[in-house]
Amino acid sequence: MEQFAKTPKTTLKRLPQRGEFDREAVYKILDEALVCHVGFVVDGQPFVIPTSYGRVGDTLYIHGSAASRMMRSLSGKIPVCITVTLLDGLVLARSAFHHSVNYRSVVVFGQAELVEDELEKMSALAALTEHIVPGRWAEVRSPNAQELKATTVLAVPLEEVSAKVRTGDPKDDDEDMAIPVWAGQLPLTLTPGSPINDSLLAPGIELPDYVRNYQRS
């Protein structure tokens, strides 16, 4: 299925032209972003917690300490909403009203499943690590039995999903076009700085290319 089905929760009521349901387009956003915001409800109170994630095919994985509120709550098969946002730029219009930002966001609705199968758990953790730094998993020590036990991994199927995208120029009203103020876009990108060696790094260990050439988009 190349498109996600629109549902009442994922249909945009306003500006429907910003909606994006193409599976590949959605996955591209999920694969570029680093952090998601996980929403869940405990006793009627919403919680929104930032965390990292990984994707394997049509499944999103998150992980955390088995002791955390988020992991314990979500293991109880409650509804979850996971949102990923890439901020691409500021949009400066001639009127305050039409100021905006360019962005790409994905919203996933579903229910988390506890990953109990050890092989799936290990693949999910590999996906989480590779999502942050591609090439890293093969070089580092894999999780041991104790670490696996201390880590809860949850799988959220990518079924009820939509993206929302804004690009391009500000959209000013015709009667504002003569206002003599600069209008346009200021692009923003998440840019790597200079890598910082661990203060305990042994001498002679070189910076890997996947860190030196790190790029997100």
149 contacts a copy of itself (rule: CB under 8 A): no
Q: CB of 206: closest distance to a copy of itself in angstroms? A: 7
Q: CB of 2: closest distance to a copy of itself in angstroms? A: 25
Choose among 54, 50, 8, 57: nearest CA to 153. Answer: 54
Among 129, 152, 154, 162, binds a copy of itself (CB under 8 A): 129
| Phi, psi (rounded to 5 degrees) for 130 | -65, -25
Distances, alpha carbon 147 to alpha carbons 25, 75, 151, in Å? 34, 18, 6
Give the C-alpha separation, 113 to 194, whole Å. Answer: 38
25 contacts a copy of itself (rule: CB under 8 A): no
Q: Which stretch binds a copy of itself (CB under 8 A): 18-26, 54-62, 113-121, 126-134?
A: 126-134
132 contacts a copy of itself (rule: CB under 8 A): yes
Q: Judged by CB, which is closer to a copy of itself: 5, or 150? A: 150
Q: Which stretch binds a copy of itself (CB under 8 A): 18-26, 54-62, 113-121, 207-215?
A: 207-215
Q: Judged by CB, which is closer to a copy of itself: 58, or 134? A: 134
Q: Which pair of tokens denotes residue 195?
A: 């890598």
Q: Within 13 Å, how many C-alpha atoms sit on residue 97's CB side? A: 5
Could you give the angle at the alpha carbon of 20 between the alpha carbons of 104 and 164, nearest 5°? 35
Written as one letter, the residue type at 11 is: T
Q: Which stretch binds a copy of itself (CB under 8 A): 16-24, 54-62, 99-107, 113-121?
A: 99-107
Using CA of residue 42, residue 45, residue 48, residue 54, what is the dihedral sign? positive
118 contacts a copy of itself (rule: CB under 8 A): no
